[in-house]
Amino acid sequence: MAQPELGLRFQRRFLAARQLRSFPWPELEQNLRTAPDSALLVDILHKQVSRAAPASLTLEKEVTQGTVGVHRPVRCLNFARGQEIATTAANQKNREEKSKAETILHPLCVKYPPSTKYRRCFLTELIKKHESTAAEPLDELYDTLADILNEEESTHCYKNYFLPTGESVTLSESVAIISGGTTGLVTWDAALHLAEWAIENSAVFSNRTVLELGSGIGFTGIAICKTCNPKTYIFSDYHPCVLKQLTENIRLNGFVLEPETTCRIQTESQGQEAEATDYQKPKLIVAELDWGSVTEKQLLDLQPDVIVAADVVYDPEIILALIGMLQKLSTFRAGRKPPEVYIAFTIRNPDTYHLFQDELDKVGIGWQIIPAHSNSIFLYDVQPNVTILQLFI
């Protein structure tokens, strides 16, 4: 049946706050024309849970210790009739069916909502589509919009992504694409692209030590840790606000990152580096690592089998620091096998992309383009300007 599938596509895009123009609006319009009873819209919004109902009444197990758990409704309230209705096995099943499509009133969205502005724009678009049909006005749409209009704008928002395993990754991010002088506080498309590729090629990561460069707020690494079974995953970045948000997001997704496991890659002047404690698999480490100042010894100590990075080639100055660091990794590896290196890009300016390739050629680092994959897990559409290079250091 087309309807549940369409609702699901809306839900996935909405919870990850993808651009509204990427939503299947024409299909929705087509559906609304053929079935003007608004059932699909209700599914998308999810009217079964009143917006006034406290989340605790609708979820048996929601979020414990920062882990997004399985959502299982136990009872819901029908405020229209002013009665509390105990949920029977039958309507619980029905609700679970409905939850496949819901967006704004999805439990994940209630707990970890996209930005106010995003939800407002989405709902406004949904109302426009509804008003363009002959259907009766749908109060829920206007009531939910009224609630959102009363909310204060925030500088932070959440994005939720579903993994093929059914688990989700929830990230707290900045609303602005550049804030605090960094691009690292939001998730970029190259990070989604790299995670998709990793999930489809999990053997590359399984039981290995992975070093991620310029992790930002952590989407790629968290997705890899949840799906690819690495032995150790070392997230790294150099910006203090990014490192703080990254650490919060790792915890938000249920991974334990005790202070003693936070390994600070110190510069020579800062003295000895801290030891990480082995307590979970994968072992997760957050490292402060600046490509411009990291030493050969510090890199040698990490002993990565695989190196990944997403959207770290966007500026000529950064390119030189990154390549300098890769050279150090290739020179000082004490007889170990060279790590496999995969770097995902969004090609915004072909000159920058070609400069990176030219600089790699100059220092003798080989590279090849990884064939494009389908982008069906997180990006949902063809992204002709996103690519992955494998480097041979």
Write down the H helix ranges in 261-315. 296-302
Element spanning 168, H or E: strand 168-174
How far apart are the C-alpha atoms of 35 and 69, rounded to whole Å?
35
Q: Does 359 bind ligand SAM (CB under 6 A)?
A: no
Q: What single string gives the DSSP state of each residue in 62-103?
A: -EETTEE------EEEETTTTEEEEPPHHHHHHHHHHHTT--
Q: Does 168 sit near ligand SAM (CB under 6 A)?
A: no
Q: By CB under 6 A, tell whether 173 contacts ligand SAM.
A: no
Rounded CA separation 15/118 (Å):
10
Q: Does 239 bind ligand SAM (CB under 6 A)?
A: yes
Q: Which is nearer to ligand SAM, 8 or 318 (CB)?
A: 318
The 321-340 contact track toward ligand SAM, x by CB under 6 A, reads x-------------------
Max alpha carbon distance in the chain (Å)?
74
Q: Considering only residues 184-203, where is the footprint of ligand SAM by CB under 6 A?
A: 184, 187-188, 190-191
| Contact flag: residue 248 with ligand SAM (CB under 6 A) | no
What separation in angstroms does the CA of 266 have from each of 171, 195, 277, 297, 344?
27, 28, 17, 11, 27
Size of the site for ligand SAM (CB under 6 A): 24
Quick one: 204 or 265, whose CB is closer to ligand SAM?
265
Q: What minimum distance in Å lies between the beta carbon of 300 and ligand SAM?
A: 18
Question: Residue 117 burial (CB < 10 Å; 0-12/13-18/19+)?
Answer: middle
Contact range with ligand SAM by CB under 6 A, out of 17-25, 165-173, 198-206, 215-223: 215-223
Task: State both tokens at 126.
Answer: 């949904």
Judged by CB under 6 A, does residue 221 bind ligand SAM?
Answer: no
Angular region, 82: left φ>0, alpha ψ -120 to 50, beta rest: left
Provide the minimum distance between the beta carbon of 241 and ligand SAM in the complex, in angstroms, as a whole number. 9
**Binding status of residue 375 toward ligand SAM by CB under 6 A:** no
Give the binding range for ligand SAM (CB under 6 A) out of 98-106, 231-239, 258-266, 353-361: 231-239
Q: Which residue is nearest to ligand SAM (CB)?
A: 184
Backbone angles phi, psi at 111, to 5 degrees: -80, -40
- Interface residues toward ligand SAM, by CB under 6 A: 182-184, 187-188, 190-191, 214-216, 219, 237-239, 242, 289-292, 310-312, 318, 321
